[in-house]
Amino acid sequence: MAKRSGKDQPVVGVDLGGTKILAAVVAADGALLGQAKKKTKADKGPLDVLGRMATTIGDAIEDAGLARKDIAAIGVGSPGPLDPESGIVVVAPNLGWKNVNVKAHLEGEFHIPTFIENDVNVGTLGEHRLGAGQGVSDLVGIFVGTGIGGGIILDGRLYQGFNKTAGEIGHMVIVDEGPQCGCGNRGCLEAVASRSAISRMIREALDKGKKSLITDLIGKSASQIKSQALAEALRQGDKVVTEALQKAAYYLGVAVAGVINFLGPEMIILGGGVVEAMEDFYLAEVRKTVVDFAFPNAAQGVRIVAARLGDNAGVLGAAVVARIRLEQEESAAA
């Protein structure tokens, strides 16, 4: 019998978010074998969060009825920027982190190879291996939430670029001299199409005295309107919300068309909380805008689809990261 390789063993995927930590034990075929969840409690400091991550991982392994020795690797999806080589999260504003070595801490705890990757790349890799992008060689994942991030798969692998920063589609300018972006520039895609941008457009309409259902759903003061509230107002045909969403989806479509003209991938995967709450609307609006803005011969046959992994995207993607890195290390050692 062949020696059992790490390739066949389950791995743990961890989704480190600003409010909660999710962990899941994932089989080689992508099946979820066990899960656990804890609050992040970032205010208690990095060491405390790392401890809670370790507990969550342990709980997920137990939930799967397995022992630590059964786990081949741990993958962690984290806000970035981060350094996948050293395993250090360089800066994570919503955690209040600077230079936190996640890899060293978890390897010290579990004695299992541990890998980290930024959450957008994790989302893209997850969709590529287990979600909407299976079998596709070249794709771009775009995730719309509070901000907008992206990941690029070329020739079946994550494309990271010269400084390992590739994928920041949220910070391509599409409206020169447009609205202020969190990055300091103006008119980036993120400044006109993210949930923050949609919230801003709706607030501006309300400030002008326009009426909207959204005030009943969220109150007038909310600076970030939740995706579910946007979806509900859209469903009810609210004019203010619909116009803001159409504008945001149009800008997203313009950016997608630009990516198709410039890079020409086989597939564009749209995900993130905003898109997932209004999938049909977003797909229709983006596809329509792409017809207007991409060259027909560049767009021909290019699939624009919704992400599939939903709430499990983080843990499944992190598990994919763990498995890919393990494969790379095994093939490098062979």
Pairing of strands 88-92, 82-83: antiparallel
CB of 110 to its own copies, least distance (A): 30
Rank residues 50 and 254 by Cβ distance to its own copies and give the closer one.
Answer: 254
CB of 266 to its own copies, least distance (A): 4
Angle at 289 between CA 167 and CA 189, to 5 degrees: 35
CB of 94 to its own copies, least distance (A): 18
Rank residues 217 and 267 by Cβ distance to its own copies and give the closer one.
Answer: 267
Rank residues 50 and 153 by Cβ distance to its own copies and give the closer one.
Answer: 153
Rank residues 99 and 295 by Cβ distance to its own copies and give the closer one.
Answer: 295
CB of 329 to its own copies, least distance (A): 21
CB of 175 to its own copies, least distance (A): 4
Rank residues 125 and 254 by Cβ distance to its own copies and give the closer one.
Answer: 254
d(CA 225, CA 231): 10
Angle between the N-to-C axes of helices 102-110 and 46-63, in degrees from 0 to 180, rounded to the nearest 10:
50
CB of 297 to its own copies, least distance (A): 6
Pairing of strands 267-271, 157-158: unpaired
Question: What is the side-by-side order of every strand in the sheet holding 88-92?
Answer: 82-83, 88-92, 97-101
By CB under 8 A, name the binding residues for its own copies: 81, 138, 150, 152, 154-155, 159-169, 171-176, 178, 183, 185, 187, 192, 251, 254, 257-259, 261-266, 292-293, 295, 297-302
Rank residues 223 and 300 by Cβ distance to its own copies and give the closer one.
Answer: 300
CB of 298 to its own copies, least distance (A): 4
Rank residues 187 and 314 by Cβ distance to its own copies and give the closer one.
Answer: 187
Rank residues 53 and 122 by Cβ distance to its own copies and give the closer one.
Answer: 122
Question: What is the side-by-side order of every strand in the sheet holding 20-26?
Answer: 32-39, 20-26, 11-16, 74-78, 114-118
CB of 167 to its own copies, least distance (A): 7
- 183-to-103, 120, 147, 168, 170 alpha-carbon distances in Å: 28, 17, 10, 11, 10
CB of 304 to its own copies, least distance (A): 12
Rank residues 108 and 161 by Cβ distance to its own copies and give the closer one.
Answer: 161
Q: Is the peptide bond before 81 cis (omega within 30 degrees of 0)?
A: yes
* Through-space distance between the first and last CA atoms of the chain, rounded to whole angstroms: 19
Q: How far is CA 186 from the centre of its chain?
A: 23
Identify the CA nearest to 326 among candidates 73, 25, 150, 23: 73
DSSP letter string, 110-144: H-S-EEEEEHHHHHHHHHHHHSTTTT-SSEEEEEE
Residue whose token pair is 């062979």? 334
Q: How far is CA 134 from the centre of its chain?
A: 17
